[in-house]
Structure 1
C-alpha cells in the first residue's frame, strides 16, 4: 500500500506578531499568521496581486525559541504539513486548516508597503531578495512572478 505525502512549503511574510500559548500539560504552541502573494495577469492583461493568508503552528521547544525572534513583517519560508480540524459554532459545523510546521528559514524582512523587489541601499547592495535580479528573471509567463531559477546542486558548484 502506498503512503501519502502531506508536505507544504510556503514563503511569505508574517502578518502579525506570533502568539505563544501553553496546553494544559505545559506544551508550548506558537501560532503565526502568514501572507503569501501571487501576481498574475487577468483576462484584460492587467497585472493583479492576490494575497492568501495561512495559519501556521509550531509545537514544543521550537515554538518557545521562535517566539523570541519572530516579529510581524518577517520574511520566512515554512515547511510542514496540512491538518484540518472541525468544530461547531452557533450550530454550524466549521473547518480550520493549519500548517503544522516542521522547519522555518528566514528570507529577510520586507518593510510594510514595499514591493517584493526593492531598491538598492547606498552601498549598492540589494535590500530585498531578488532586488538585484533582472525583471525578466523574476517574472514568469505573462508577467507573473514565478519560481527563481533552479540553484545548482552542491556537486556542481565550482570550488
Structure 2
C-alpha cells in the first residue's frame, strides 16, 4: 500500500513545539491550501482547506526556528487518522499529515530580521525547490525543554540553511 500526501500552502499558525521525555522534538501546526475554480454559473470561487501537520525530530526544530504563521511551505508525508474521546464522552477523529519532508518556499530577500517570511513569493520557486529536510527515522537527542519556556537555540551551520 502507498500513503503519500504532498501539499503546498501557508502555515495557518505558529509551530507549537514540545519535547518527549527522551528529548525528541514534536512540532504541531496547520497548513492552509486553496484552489480556485469556476462554478456551474461561471462564477469564480475559492475553496480553502486547513490541514493539521506534525513534524518530528530535527525537522520540527528547524521548522520552529525558521517558520511562522503565513510562511510558505511544501510538505510531503503520510495521511494519519487521529482518534480520541472528547470530554463529553463522544468519539472524535480527524485526519492529519505526519510530515516526512519539508521545503521552505520563498527567497532569502523575503526573510525578515527574525527569520519570518514576508507575504510575497515568486511563482517560479515550484520549478526549482529549495533543499528539503528529512525527518529522521530514529529519534535524535534534542535539548531538554527548559522550565522558562524559551525556544532553544539550534546549532546549525550556514550550509544547512535552505535560503
TM-score of the superposed pair, with normalisation by structure 1: 0.66
Query: Runs (4+) of structure 1 moved beyond 3 Å?
Result: none
Distance in 1, Cα, partners of 2:39 & 2:49: 17
Contact 1:40/1:48, CA 8 A, preserved across alignment? yes
CA distance in 1, matches of 2:75, 2:59: 13
- Show structure 1 runs of 5+ residues with no match: 112-117, 119-126, 131-147, 152-159
Structure 2 unaligned segments of length 5 or more: list them.
Answer: 107-116, 129-163
Cα distance in 2, alignment partners of residues 38 and 95 from structure 1: 25
Query: Which residue, 105, 108, 112 being the options, matches 1:107?
Result: 105
Distance in 1 between the 2:32 and 2:61 partners?
22
Whether 2:35 is the aligned partner of 1:38: answer yes
Is the contact between residue 107 and residue 129 of structure 1 (CA under 8 Å) also seen in structure 2?
no
Choose the corresponding residue for 1:79, options 76, 86, 90: 76
Instruction: Give aligned pairs, total.
Output: 117
Q: How far did residue 38 of structure 1 move?
A: 0.6
Q: CA deviation at 1:82?
A: 0.6
Q: 1:1-159, aligned counterparts within 5 Å?
A: 4-89=1-86, 90-108=88-106, 111=119, 128-129=122-123
DSSP 3-state at the match of 1:45: coil
Q: What do residues 89-110 of structure 1 show as CA deviations (whole Å, max 9, x unaligned)?
A: 1111000211000111122256
Please say if residues 75 and 110 of structure 1, whose CA atoms lie closer than 8 Å, have aligned partners that are also in contact.
no
Secondary structure of 2:65's aligned partner: helix
Distance in 1, Cα, partners of 2:103 & 2:5: 14
Structure possessing the higher radius of gyration over alpha carbons: 1
TM-superposed deviation, 1:35: 0.2
Deviations 1:100-130 (A, max 9, x none): 001111222562xxxxxx7xxxxxxxx5315
Q: What displacement does 1:61 show?
A: 2.1
